Amino acid sequence: MEEMLSLSDLCKKLNISRRHVLRMRNKGMPTYTLSENGRPRFDYNEVRAWMRSNTNRKS
């Protein structure tokens, strides 16, 4: 497991908006809650794998 990223760090690394991350999270993107504050954390490699398998590309 890679370093766990905060929501803002994930947005920066993927160059996408916070709103887009939250939409993907609602669709089942892997998220972890590691502390009592309830803030989500994301494993970058798991998120990328989830994004690849959940892309609606037309060939």
pLDDT, position 37: 80
Note the pLDDT tens digit of each residue in 1-59. 667 999 999 999 999 999 999 999 999 999 998 777 888 999 999 999 999 998 776 54
Q: Structural domain boundaries of the chain?
A: 4-53
pLDDT, position 14: 95
SS (HEC) of the chain: CCCEECHHHHHHHHCCCHHHHHHHHHCCCCCEECCCCCCEEEEHHHHHHHHHHCCCCCC
